[in-house]
């Protein structure tokens, strides 16, 4: 008998973002939001109505957006910067480095609609380099939450953190992947499924797909471990070394370039501590025209693609 499971509900993590910012602002009058004409795309209309003076819209100007946030932090505020990831990371990169990271400013950068969320709008609007660029900057926490619960908790952790934090906020629908009692911690991975043959390490929108791939692998008799790595920096090296030692093969999956992101970070830890065969799944080259879901499929970032990559890797592992 075949059981047909209902499709899981999908969530836009921007909803968790605005609910969390509203809650933080209600509890702490130091909380302000700085944005770049992105009230609508950040879903901040309600916040603007409720806290008109605490929503600082600087217009379409990312450099001053980050600089203003640094100045607000100097003035005792807890700014949350919100804007499309593609623009705020690229146009504001030097400000993120100097005004936030090097200055240790208590600013949270909320990067909306990262990866290929803007699908058909093309490579100008894709943010597939953000983690790579930012990972080289010292004193900057990088988080890529997987679902609404983790988005909320990452933002709450950022509000408590001494220093700048970057949080990717996905708009593409994602299912809930964590149990209700999950507790996000900066620098801590979450083992969502145990296994001994191969480890799938993913973050953001790719976590649910890695979990689905593990189910496909189980059908083949392969026990895949699934690790969610919401913090790319600082990295949970112990969890990676454990995966290498205990499963002997690692596939990383990210909605990001294969150059310099999660996969590269994991590879750095693997070669330093316990070299094992690896595959890094992500984007390579400017993406062609297509919706976000088309592009993810096109680049093999779906359960079937992850399953195929893991199967191939297991062949290498067995020699």
Catalytic residue numbers read 62
- The 8-class DSSP code of residue 139 comes to S
Minimum Å gap between C-beta 143 and another protein is 23
**Is the separation of the CB atoms in 82 and 33 below 8 Å?**
yes
What does each C-alpha distance from 167 to 2, 108, 148, 287, 307 come to in angstroms? 40, 7, 12, 23, 28
Give Cβ neighbours of residue 41 (< 8 Å, ≥ 6 apart). 84, 112, 113
Helix (H, G, I), strand (E, B) or coil at 155: helix
The footprint of another protein on this chain (CB under 8 A) covers a number of residues equal to: 30
Minimum Å gap between C-beta 183 and another protein is 30
Segment interacting with another protein (CB under 8 A) among 97-105, 110-118, 186-194, 254-262? 97-105
Structure tokens belonging to residue 188: 């801590």
Residue 226 makes contact with another protein by CB under 8 A: no
Buried b (16+ CB within 10 A) or exposed e, 269-303: bbeeebebbbbbbbbeeebeeeebeebbebbebbb
Single out the residue of 16, 70, 141, 295 in contact with another protein (rule: CB under 8 A). Answer: 70
Q: Which of 222, 32, 208, 174 is nearest to 110 (CA)?
A: 32
Residue 66 makes contact with another protein by CB under 8 A: yes
Residue ranges in 39-58 that form contacts with another protein under rule CB under 8 A: 53-54, 56, 58
Segment interacting with another protein (CB under 8 A) among 10-18, 65-73, 267-275, 298-306? 65-73
Minimum Å gap between C-beta 76 and another protein is 6
Residue 32 makes contact with another protein by CB under 8 A: yes
Single out the residue of 19, 39, 61, 308 in contact with another protein (rule: CB under 8 A). Answer: 61
Single out the residue of 26, 74, 124, 196 in contact with another protein (rule: CB under 8 A). Answer: 74
Minimum Å gap between C-beta 55 and another protein is 11
Residue 83 makes contact with another protein by CB under 8 A: no
Distance of CA 298 to the CA centre of its chain: 20
**Is the separation of the CB atoms in 201 and 227 below 8 Å?**
yes
Minimum Å gap between C-beta 81 and another protein is 11
Segment interacting with another protein (CB under 8 A) among 71-79, 193-201, 212-220, 229-237? 71-79
Minimum Å gap between C-beta 34 and another protein is 8
- N-term to C-term CA, the chain: 38
Residue 63 makes contact with another protein by CB under 8 A: yes
**Is the separation of the CB atoms in 95 and 63 below 8 Å?**
yes
Pick between residue 104 and residue 289 the one whose CB is nearest to another protein. Answer: 104
CA 15 – CA 112 distance, rounded (Å): 11
Q: Which residues bind another protein (CB under 8 A)?
A: 32, 34, 53-54, 56, 58-59, 61, 63-64, 66-77, 79, 94-95, 98-99, 102-104
């Amino acid at each position: 008998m075949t059981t047909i499971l209902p499709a899981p509900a999908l969530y836009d993590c921007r909803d968790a973002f605005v609910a969390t910012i509203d809650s933080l602002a209600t509890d702490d009058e130091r909380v302000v939001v700085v944005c770049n004409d992105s009230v609508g795309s950040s879903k901040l209309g309600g916040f603007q109505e409720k806290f008109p003076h605490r929503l600082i819209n600087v217009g379409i100007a990312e450099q001053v957006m980050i600089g203003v946030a640094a100045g607000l932090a100097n003035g005792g505020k807890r700014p949350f910067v919100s804007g499309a990831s593609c623009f705020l990371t690229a146009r504001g990169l030097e400000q993120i480095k100097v005004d936030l990271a090097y200055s240790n400013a208590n600013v949270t950068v909320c990067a909306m609609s990262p990866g290929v969320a803007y699908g058909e709008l093309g490579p100008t609007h894709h943010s597939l380099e953000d983690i790579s660029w930012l990972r080289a900057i010292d004193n900057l926490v990088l988080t890529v939450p997987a679902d609404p619960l983790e988005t909320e908790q990452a933002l709450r952790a950022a509000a408590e953190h001494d220093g700048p934090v970057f949080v990717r906020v996905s708009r593409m629908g994602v299912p809930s992947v964590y149990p209700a009692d999950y507790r996000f911690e900066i620098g801590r991975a979450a083992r969502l499924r145990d296994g001994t043959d191969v480890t799938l390490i993913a973050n953001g929108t790719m976590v649910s797909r890695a979990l689905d791939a593990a189910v496909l692998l189980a059908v083949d008799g392969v026990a895949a471990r699934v690790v969610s790595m919401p913090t790319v920096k600082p990295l949970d090296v112990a969890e990676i070394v454990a995966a290498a030692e205990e499963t002997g093969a690692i596939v990383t999956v990210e909605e990001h370039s294969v150059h310099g992101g999660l996969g590269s970070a994991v590879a750095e830890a693997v070669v330093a501590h316990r070299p094992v065969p690896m595959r890094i799944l992500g984007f390579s080259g400017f993406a062609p025209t297509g919706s976000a879901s088309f592009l993810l499929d096109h680049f093999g970032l779906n359960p079937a693609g992850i399953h195929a990559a893991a199967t191939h890797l297991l062949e290498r592992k067995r020699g």
